[in-house]
């Protein structure tokens, strides 16, 4: 395909998948339960954190996380008493367990009380071309408190070679305005043009078949290559193609 043909093909796939039907089988359904900005972003952040593995299990365990926060994540984060954290003791999603979940609650409280919230942390360090340095800074802020060493692995760092798939997905949810009711677009301090595609096995394999990616590993270098090529197709909204790449890989076995 020529670049023009590739763009037409992927644009059509974006239209096919970037619509309300997408929510039914996707973890983004969790934050769609809420209307308060802080509830949306906190539930989205927690959901994205455990978004690896079987999608039905991700959705089931994300619902469980929110139930453990009394279905009011922002209020729980700000106002919980230490004894309430005991209710988290049996939570586990793959390698993310109650120790990690408990620290995430404490870290999020620290961020909302002392750093003006998640959006403020990201917007302080993002620029118009990339959010990857901002993800690195988020990890530093997130672990300012005393924490279990094991929990650090659950926040990726692009500056240490990670594609940071889950945080890039979270940022797509928060920043991208899709006018289709899927992505929220509630963080107006960041630009959709600075976002990176959530790179995983599915999107990576499809991107390679389409000539958008040559690097074999799904790491930070691969993400930088994919960023360049997706920006050639749409500089203002490059991560809309996540819907196309993911849809082709997961639903069409492309």
> Is residue 204 pLDDT above 90, yes or no?
yes
- The H or E element that residue 35 is part of is none
**Model-level pTM greater than 0.85?**
yes
Please count the structural domains in the chain.
1
Q: What is the CA radius of gyration of the chain?
A: 18
Q: Domain range holding 138?
A: 3-250
pLDDT above 90 as % of the chain? 95
Quick one: average pLDDT of 92-114?
97
- Please state, in angstroms and rounded to a whole number, the distance separating the CA atoms of residues 4 and 81: 57
> Is residue 132 pLDDT above 90, yes or no?
yes
Band (pLDDT 50/70/90 cuts) for residue 19 is: very high
Band (pLDDT 50/70/90 cuts) for residue 4 is: very high
> Is residue 57 pLDDT above 90, yes or no?
yes
Residue 242, pLDDT score? 97
Band (pLDDT 50/70/90 cuts) for residue 253 is: confident
Please, what is the average pLDDT of the chain?
Answer: 96
Residue 128, pLDDT score? 84
For residues 154 and 139, is the Cβ–Cβ distance under 8 A?
no
For residues 65 and 50, is the Cβ–Cβ distance under 8 A?
yes
> Is residue 1 pLDDT above 90, yes or no?
no
Residue 126, pLDDT score? 86
Closest CA to 239 of 229, 249, 252: 229
Q: Could you give the angle at which helices 3-17 and 220-233 cross, rounded to 10 degrees?
A: 100
Quick one: average pLDDT of 193-204?
95
Tens of pLDDT, residue by residue over 136-186, are 999 999 999 999 999 999 999 999 999 999 999 999 999 999 989 999 999
Residue 236, pLDDT score? 96
């Amino acid at each position: 395909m020529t670049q023009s043909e590739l763009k037409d093909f992927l644009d059509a796939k974006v239209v096919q998948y970037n619509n309300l039907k997408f929510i039914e089988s996707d973890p983004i359904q969790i934050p769609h339960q809420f209307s308060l900005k802080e509830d949306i972003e906190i539930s989205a952040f927690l959901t994205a954190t455990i978004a690896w593995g079987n999608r039905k299990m991700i959705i089931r365990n994300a619902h469980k996380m929110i139930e453990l926060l009394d279905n009011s994540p922002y209020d729980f984060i700000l106002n919980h008493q230490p004894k309430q954290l005991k209710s988290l003791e049996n939570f586990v999603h793959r390698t993310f367990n109650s120790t990690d979940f408990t620290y995430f609650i404490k870290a999020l409280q620290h961020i909302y009380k002392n750093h003006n919230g998640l959006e403020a942390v990201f917007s302080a360090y993002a620029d118009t071309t990339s959010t990857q340095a901002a993800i690195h800074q988020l990890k530093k802020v997130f672990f300012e408190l005393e924490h279990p060493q094991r929990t650090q692995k659950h926040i990726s760092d692009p500056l240490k070679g990670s594609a940071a798939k889950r945080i890039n997905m979270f940022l797509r949810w928060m920043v991208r305005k899709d006018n289709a009711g899927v992505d929220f677009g509630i963080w107006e301090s960041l630009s959709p043009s600075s976002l990176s595609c959530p790179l995983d096995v599915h999107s990576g394999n499809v991107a390679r078949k389409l000539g958008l990616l040559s690097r074999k590993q799904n790491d930070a270098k691969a993400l930088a290559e994919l960023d360049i090529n997706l920006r050639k197709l749409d500089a203002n909204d490059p991560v809309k193609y996540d819907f196309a790449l993911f849809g082709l890989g997961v639903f069409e076995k492309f």
